Structure 1
Amino acid sequence: MSAVTAVPPAANAAALAHFAGRLAFETDVSDVAADLAAAVPSIVVVDSRSRESWEQGHIQGAVHLPTAEIAARAAEVIPAGATVVTYCWGPGCNGATRAALEMAKLGHPVKEMIGGFEYWAREGFPVETASGVARRPVDALTAPVTGIACAC
């Protein structure tokens, strides 16, 4: 007996709804990096972590808006109609999900960046600190070390 098919795959209609739904709620670090590099004006990237975490390093061009401050401050930092992309530490953290929920409560179109800051840094995208902007070497377990996109 197959461990993979012990529970049969979903029917096609259910699979279509599920996977399309996931893409409606999530984006990944490569897509966010591409939009930031292209200066797409309708995207606002929100770092929902603490001040200490932000200062340790954050996505260049992101807005620092801790989840607890979203209700009070979102109107001053999120342009009307912008799509918000939330991130927190990484896959083991649900902070970006909590921040996305708060943005949705305010009526903002929102997506969660899967992988969070961890995968942003591990894939070699620019990280900003008080010292400036730097890039870490690409982790070969997360992205092609050649710098060429995985084309997924």
Structure 2
Amino acid sequence: MSTVSDIQAAPPQAVIDHFSRLLSMETDCWDVSFAMEQGDQDFVLLHVVGSAEVFARRHIPGAIHLRHGDMTPERLSPWPMETLFVVYCAGPHCNGADRAALALARLGRPVKIMLGGMTGWEDEGFAFAGSAAAA
């Protein structure tokens, strides 16, 4: 018996439950990019870390800069309560997206994290916006 199979696989329903729950909280760079390219953007993409200057230099096209620490009912009031937010940060080494997701959920807002953040976006070969992206 291999180390792969020495622990029995979970029953199918447990796998369905697990991945359904996981995918209800996460999306990936490819799905975000594809939705935006197709004009199917039914979410608000938030860049949740760094200063306004850092955001101006390089960010994902179509993103709005709103730091996780600045998320308040007042700052979110332009969007209806049912608006889905997709949050991202620098990448897997950054927990800003986790903090933003927690802040948004505490405010009763639907949210998903974009896995990989800017590092994942770059790894997929997608373009950035901002002054550094034009250079």
When normalised by structure 1's length, the TM-score is 0.77
Contact 2:58 2:133 in 1 (8 A): no
Instruction: Report matched runs for 1:76-87 at 5 Å.
Output: 76=77, 79-80=79-80, 81-87=82-88
C-alpha distance 7-55 of structure 1, shift in aligned 2 (>3 A): farther
Structure 1, unmatched stretches of 5+, are 135-152
- Look up the SS of the partner of 2:97 in the other structure: helix
Deviations 1:35-73 (A, max 9, x none): 112333531000111115424411011010111111265
Whole-angstrom distance in 1 between the partners of 2:19 and 2:99: 21
Moved over 4 A (4+): 131-134
- Kept after mapping to 2: 8 A contact 1:84/1:109: yes
The equivalent residue for 2:115 is 114
Amino acid corresponding to residue 122 of structure 1 in structure 2:
D
Q: Which has a greater percent of strand?
A: 1
Task: Check conservation: 1:85, 1:113, Cα contact below 8 A.
Answer: yes
Query: What's the counterpart of residue 58 of structure 1?
Result: 59
Structure 2 runs not aligned, ≥5 long: none
Q: What is the SS of the residue equivalent to 1:85? A: strand
TM-score by length of 2: 0.86
Matched, 1:16 2:16: yes
1:132 Cα shift? 5.5
* Structure ranking higher on relative contact order (CA contacts 8 Å, 6+ apart): 2
Structure 1 partner of 2:26: 26
In the TM superposition, residue 86 of structure 1 has moved relative to its aligned partner by: 0.5
Question: Residues 5 and 22 from structure 1, CA distance in 2 versus in 1: closer, same or farther, beyond 3 angstroms?
Answer: same
Residues 53/9 of structure 1: CA separation in 2 closer, same or farther (3 Å cut): farther
Cα distance, 1:129 vs structure 2? 1.4
* Aligned residue pairs, count: 133
* Counterpart in the other structure of 2:3: 3
- Between the aligned partners of 1:5 and 1:73, the Cα distance in structure 2 is 52
